[in-house]
Amino acid sequence: MGHFNLIQLIIIWGPPVLFAITLHEVAHGWVARRLGDPTAQMLGRLTVNPLKHIDPIGTVVVPVLLLVLHTGILFGWAKPVPISPRNFRNPRKDMAIVAVAGPVSNLCMGIIWAVIARIAVLLWPTFPWVKPLIFMGIAGVLINAALMVFNLIPLPPLDGGRVLTGLLPRRAANVIDRIEPFGFLIIILLMLTGVLNVVLMPSIDWIYQMLLPASLIS
C-alpha cells in the first residue's frame, strides 16, 4: 500500500477498522434480537455509533501498535455486545448463529470496500482526488478479511469457539468451554510465536485476492 507516515496510516485505516469492529458487534446484537434476546437493544448497543462499542485497548491501542510495528496482520476488538442465551428457544444452536453473524458481517463489509476500491480505480484517471479511497478500500478488505478469519478460529471466547460448541455434542462442548478462561492467553502466545500469522495469512490472502485481484490495483 505504499509508504505512509503514522497520521496517513490512521486516516486510511481508521474508518475501515472502526466500521469493521463496530458492525461486527452490531451484527451479533441484531441477530440475537431476531432470535428473541433484546438485551443488546435495551442497553443501546444496536447502533453504528462507534463510541458505544469502542474498547480503548482492542479498538485503539492494539490496531495502532500493529500498524506501527508492521506486523503484517491487523486486528482488534470492541466491547462485546451483551447476550442473554436464556432468552433463546435453543440456547446452544441460537448462540452459534449469533456468533457466526459477526464474521459474516465482516465478509459483507469486505465486499463493500472492494466495490469502493474498484470504483475509485476506475475514477482515478479522471478524478485524482479519489486516490485515497483506493487505499481505504484496500484497507477495508484487509481488515475485514483478517477479522473474519481471526474470529473463526475454533477457540472460545472467539466466534469460532461459540460456533464449535453449538455444533458439538454437549459433553464435547463442555470440554471446549473449559478452555475459555485461557483462550486469549493462547491467542497471545500464538501471536508472539508467529504461529498465528502463519496459520491465518493464507486464508486472509485468499479472500483478499478473491475480492481485489492484484491486476486490478497494480
pLDDT tens for each residue of 166-217: 999 989 999 888 998 898 889 888 888 888 889 899 999 999 999 998 766 6
pLDDT at 218: 58
Please give the grid coordinates belonging to residue 56.
480503548
Angstrom distances, CA of residue 47 to CA of 25, 42, 100, 114, 142: 10, 11, 19, 24, 24
pLDDT at 28: 96
Q: Determine which one of 25, 37, 94, 159 is catalytic.
A: 25
Largest CA distance in the chain: 62
Pairwise CA distance, residues 215 & 218, whole Å? 5
Please give the grid coordinates belonging to residue 27.
451484527
pLDDT at 142: 92
pLDDT at 72: 59
Q: Which residues of the chain have pLDDT under 50?
A: none
Environment class of residue 77 by beta-carbon count within 10 Å: exposed (0-12), middle (13-18) or buried (19+)?
A: buried
pLDDT at 17: 86
Name residues whose C-beta falls within 8 Å of residue 165's C-beta, 6 or more positions apart in sequence.
Answer: 92, 95, 96, 156, 173, 176, 177
Centre a 10 Å sphere on the Cβ of residue 145 and count the other Cβ atoms it contains.
28
pLDDT at 1: 55
Please give the grid coordinates belonging to residue 186.
493462547
* 180 flagged as catalytic: no
The reply to whether the predicted model has a pTM over 0.85 is yes
Tracing cell 463442555 back to the chain, one arrives at 174
pLDDT at 13: 85
